[in-house]
C-alpha cells in the first residue's frame, strides 16, 4: 500500500499574497525560505476565494461550505445561535477514516 502524504495547512491572519516570497519572489524586500521550500516541494494552491473574516474563512475551509450556510460569516459571540451543527461535516471527520490525525496549533 502506498504511504499516505502528510497534509500541512499554514493559515495566517492579515497576511497578504505578496507577503510570502514564494509568491512575490522577494519583491516585497524579505524572504520566507521555509515556507518557500514547502511550496516548492509540495503543492501550492494559487487559485481561491477568500472570505471577509478569519471566522468565515476557517468555517469555509473546515466544512467546504459557504459561510452563509453555517452562519459563521463574521466573528460570533459566546452563546450565539449560529455555528457548526452536528450534521456539518468537517475536514477532520472526513480524513479520520483514512488514518489521519488532525490538530490546530
In a domain, 27, yes or no: yes
Q: Are 22 and 40 in contact (CB under 8 A)?
A: yes
In a domain, 3, yes or no: no
Q: Are 32 and 21 in contact (CB under 8 A)?
A: yes
Per-residue confidence (pLDDT) for residue 37, from 0 to 100: 93
**Does 86 lie in the same domain as 44?**
no
**Does 93 lie in the same domain as 56?**
yes
Q: Which domain holds residue 31?
A: 13-48
Per-residue confidence (pLDDT) for residue 30, from 0 to 100: 81
Q: How many other C-beta atoms can be found within 10 angstroms of the C-beta atom of residue 67? A: 20
In this prediction, residues 78-101 reach a mean pLDDT of: 88
Number of domain units in the chain: 2
**Does 104 lie in the same domain as 55?**
yes
In a domain, 102, yes or no: yes
Span of 39-48, 57-66, 85-94 with lowest mean pLDDT: 39-48
**Does 62 lie in the same domain as 20?**
no
In a domain, 63, yes or no: yes
What DSSP line would sit under 11-34, residue for residue? --SS--GGGSHHHHTTTTS---HH
pLDDT in tens, 26-44: 787 788 999 899 889 988 8
In a domain, 6, yes or no: no
**Does 79 lie in the same domain as 64?**
yes
Q: What residue has cell string 522577494?
A: 26
Question: 10: Cβ–Cβ under 8 A, 6 or more apart, which residues?
Answer: 35, 38
In this prediction, residues 58-87 reach a mean pLDDT of: 84
Q: Are 88 and 63 in contact (CB under 8 A)?
A: yes
Amino acid at each position: 500500500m502506498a504511504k499516505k502524504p502528510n497534509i500541512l495547512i499554514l493559515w495566517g491572519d492579515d497576511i497578504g499574497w505578496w507577503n510570502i516570497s514564494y509568491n512575490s519572489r522577494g519583491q516585497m524586500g524579505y524572504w520566507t525560505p521555509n515556507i518557500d521550500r514547502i511550496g516548492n516541494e509540495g503543492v501550492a494552491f494559487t487559485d481561491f476565494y477568500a472570505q471577509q473574516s478569519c471566522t468565515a474563512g476557517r468555517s469555509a475551509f473546515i466544512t467546504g461550505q459557504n459561510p452563509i450556510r453555517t452562519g459563521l460569516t463574521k466573528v460570533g459571540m459566546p452563546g450565539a445561535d449560529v455555528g457548526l451543527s452536528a450534521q456539518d461535516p468537517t475536514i477532520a471527520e472526513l480524513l479520520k477514516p483514512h488514518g489521519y490525525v488532525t490538530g490546530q496549533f
